[in-house]
Amino acid sequence: MEFIAFTYVGNFMEREVIDEVVFTVFDEANRFFHESDIPLRFLYIGKLKLEPGYLINLTTPEGKIRVYPLEALVDVLHARLLREIEKNPELKMNKIFALTTFPLVSRNPYFDFYERFLGIHETRLGLRIMVLSMKPFEPEGLGELLKRTPDEDTKRLVRERLTLFKDRVLKGVLHEIGHGFGLEHCRNDCVMNSPSSMEDWDSRFPGYCDSCFINLKRAVEWSELSLGHGEGGKKF
């Protein structure tokens, strides 16, 4: 069994809401791997706490937003993964997956501006760092609903939007995991089919097409075998 360390960082709404979304998503992902007989599981390593200084303020056409610079976040995640591997050398683990509630940006070295990203992958010394922003998946109006007096109608609307939120993020996690094991974008009804809009994403099947599934399972099994031969967690 191969493990992927997972964590989350940041907040833009009530802590309980974030906890519900994050843990439901990773529970569902683990259930999917189990039911699909894929030897892969997420392992929670605690919330990642970053000092306020890691956040930067950017001016956009929509106003000022707070974002995480990818370079700093990747540095922290790489160090955290190394620490987890040292603590649990018996686990087959050389990857970390982080969800963040803030947008992600990276400075363009040629034109001196920040580019925004939904998610990123980076490999450092054989360790894979994956980051996905939850912010683009947030259903419209959810934040305002959470501020209302919780009457029955408001509770129903919040539940509906939270379900939509979790479905969107789960597909995003499965998409990034696919990339993490070498899958490319496809054109089928599949989480590896990059959407043209959020409505398109909502209609997407919450899983892999037959071709992507076979490729993912083979890649995970090969990765697990490689880790078992000393190319993964115990080496670092």
Could you give the residue numbers annotated as active site? Answer: 176
DSSP for the chain?
Answer: -EEEEEEEE--SS-HHHHHHHHHHHHHHHHHHHHHTT--EEEEE--PPP--GGG-EEEEETTEEEEEEEHHHHHHHHHHHHHHHHHH-TTSEEEEEEEEESS-EEEEETTTTEEEEESEEEEEETTEEEEEEESGGGPPTTHHHHHHS---HHHHHHHHHHHHHHHHHHHHHHHHHHHHHTT----SSSSTTS--SSHHHHHHS-SS--HHHHHHHHHHHHHHHHHIIIIISGGG-
